Amino acid sequence: MTPQTSTNGEPWADDAERYVALPIVSRELQAEWMDEFAAAQMPAVKDELLFALQPGAVLGAFRTTLAAHGLLDDWAKALQLHVNVHVQQWATASKVPLQRLFDSPARRADLGPVGAPSGGSVEPATIEGAVAAPERSFDDALRRRLHNVIEQMNGAELSVITVPARFLVGS
């Protein structure tokens, strides 16, 4: 659904400052991501996945092969990471503040047009402040422990953690 305009035209034509085109992820780019994922697998699995991606392969062969090797979750995480990066690059290139993508509709209404400075900024709590604060709940203890664990992880370990995009962008 889109809002009605005074001219009965498309809202993005009447109020272009509020809208920015979001290009789709092309089939070719998705295929590149699949090829990249396949290439990172063990040789036998890699060969099966690459075969499943060849022109003329049975529809759904890639997914079937992923399932046969227990890689559906790994692929889902890799795909989500690619999509997150794609959206982040689009937002940066389009000068769309990343917080606008994840704020509630009521909060977005207060932010004004795309590219305009936001009304009030919310400073994220620093990790040190969060860890140094006295634990008042199970959540506080869990956050402290999670921060300690994350600090010890390498990039490969961090890349497989599923985190909603709204927590990763804009920081």
Provide mean pLDDT across the span 152-162: 77
Provide mean pLDDT across the span 117-142: 47
Whole-angstrom Cα distance, residue 119 to residue 49? 49
DSSP label at residue 57: P
pLDDT in tens, 75-124: 999 998 898 888 888 888 888 887 777 655 555 455 555 555 444 433 33
The more confident residue out of 90 and 68 is 68
58: pLDDT strictly greater than 90: yes
129: pLDDT strictly greater than 80: no
Please give the C-alpha separations between residue 134 and each of 137, 142, 150, in angstroms, as whole numbers.
9, 13, 20
Whole-angstrom Cα distance, residue 65 to residue 50? 10
